[in-house]
Every structure is written in structure tokens, then in C-alpha cells.
A and B are shown apart, each in its own frame.
Chain A
Amino acid sequence: DTAVSQTPKYLVTQMGNDKSIKCEQNLGHDTMYWYKQDSKKFLKIMFSYNNKELIINETVPNRFSPKSPDKAHLNLHINSLELGDSAVYFCASSQSLEADTEAFFGQGTRLTVV
């Protein structure tokens, strides 16, 4: 009974392709996030959504487009994949944007662009 689940866990694709990563949380949280962790292990926030509305968009190329069909889902679509997009992408959720709330992370999606 996973709290935050991402699919797929591994994704290998060629440059130029378009791919999507799905994220679902069953915690009833209002806020969801996407993070990118590169080869140097730095975790960088990409997007955050609160009640299906975009809150943060951190200097992410336009090729990345998050979509939140409902509060429980935040999917990440990537167009025209580039080699530099290879990384582990983590989805997370928290009850709200309040500072004292705990974030729950998914297991990650390892994206490899060849």
C-alpha cells in the first residue's frame, strides 16, 4: 500500500522521444512535487502543485510539462528528450504548503536517454 507511487521505475529512451512519468499519492495530500536528482546526487525541485494549481516552476525547460488531473496525481511529460535529461526523478507530496508538514517521496524513476 504505497503512499506515493511512480511509474515506471526505469525508463530508457532515445534522444528526441517524448515520454511521461506518472505519480499518484493515496495520502489525501493537497500538495505534490517533482524533483530531479542528477548524477552528482543534487536534488532539485522542478515543480510543485497545490490543489491542482501550479505553485513553483523552477527554471525548467519548456520541454517539461507537469499535468495534474486531480489532487492525487501529478504526471510529468517530457518532450524532445535530451541526453542531459538523464537523471532520477522523484515525485513527492505533503499535506499542504505549511512549513511544518512532512513530505513523502516516491521511489523514483530512473530516466536514461541514449
Chain B
Amino acid sequence: LAKTTQPISMDSYEGQEVNITCSHNNIATNDYITWYQQFPSQGPRFIIQGYKTKVTNEVASLFIPADRKSSTLSLPRVSLSDTAVYYCLVEGYSSASKIIFGSGTRLSIRP
């Protein structure tokens, strides 16, 4: 199983860009990189997914270097409502590795 390592917590301020990096040294060829967001008392919510290079949607960008051993979730101009736990996952088409969550990064945004 490809395991992920990410910072336990991060702090930032409203209006800043926040980058959360995740390491996944043992990622397999067929694995995708997915990020979820979880607010207190809610289930995780899908943010973005990518395989290589860069992916951007209305919420975030995901940067993946050529070796795919790490990835960076970029949140532009964060607001207080972005305070949440962010999980980096590596997903492969096999029952053993589907949607395995790591410890996540607790992001706190201050005014």
C-alpha cells in the first residue's frame, strides 16, 4: 500500500495562498492522488484528484512532479471557512488500496 505523509497542522491567514505538501514515495503506476476536506462533524468531501502534472478546479490546484512521489494542494486566497482537515490519499484500482486515509493536515485560518 502506498502510504502518505503530510504535516499534522498548518496555520495561515485570510487571503493567503496555502500549499499543503504530501509525500507518497511508494506510489504505484496505476495510483491516483486525491485530496479530501473534512469539516468538524461532517464527512470528508472530495476536493481534487490528479495523476500527473497539474490539475485545477474552482476550489484548488494540485501540483504533481514528474516522479509522482509527492503532491501539493494549493488553496488560493483562503478564508476562515477553509479551516478544516485536509487528507491526501493515493488510490489504486485494487480492493486493498481503495480510499485509505492518512492522518490529514489540520489547517487553521486566522482573520
Contacts and interface: CB of A to CB of B under 8 A. Distances in A.
Is B truly associated with A?
A: yes
A86 B90 CA distance: 28
Given A97-B95, A99-B91, A102-B49, A44 B43 contact: no
Contact of A105 (B32, B45, B91): B45
A42 B32 CA distance: 21
Number of chain B interface residues as a range: 20 to 34
A43 to B, nearest CB: 4
Contacts of B91: 99-100
A44 B95 contact: no
Contact of B42 (A41, A48, A55, A107): A107
Contact of A98 (B44, B46, B93): B93
Contact of B101 (A4, A42, A108): A42
